[in-house]
Amino acid sequence: MSNQPPPNAPYSPPPPAPQGGGPQHPHPPGSQGDSTGGVIPYKNPKALVAYYLGIFSLFPALGFPLGIASIWLGVLGLKARNRDPIIKGHVHAWIGIVLGVIGMPLHLLVGLGVITAIVSG
């Protein structure tokens, strides 16, 4: 009888990790993301600002001008993303554009409703 434990014993040490066959290369320059994993497009500030302005365009009072700004910056952010795909931010730009398009007519309708209510007494 041998002093070796059975090969699948729960108390035996794990087998060594397999060795790679080829040389390990670092990522090419510029392909490394930031600490957010690319979720927040710090390299595309126009898209990021469009995103926040689009959200704030849904709030009362300043919604119409913020909606215009979010659409404008969203388009600029998309153009910047198309020039350099590494900077990311196309989703933030699109969200800014869509929320701006939703916020502007919403505030126009609310404004018209308020004016109609004031005029009709």
The burial class, CB within 10 Å (0-12 / 13-18 / 19+), for 46 is: buried
For the chain, the domains span: 45-120
pLDDT value at residue 114: 92
Question: What pLDDT shows up at residue 59?
Answer: 86
pLDDT of 71-89, one tens digit each? 999 999 999 988 988 888 8
User: pLDDT tens, 21-43?
Assistant: 656 555 555 555 554 556 666 78
Residue 54 has pLDDT above 80, yes or no: yes
Residue 36, SS3 per DSSP: coil
pLDDT digits (tens, 9 = 90+) for 104-113: 888 889 989 9
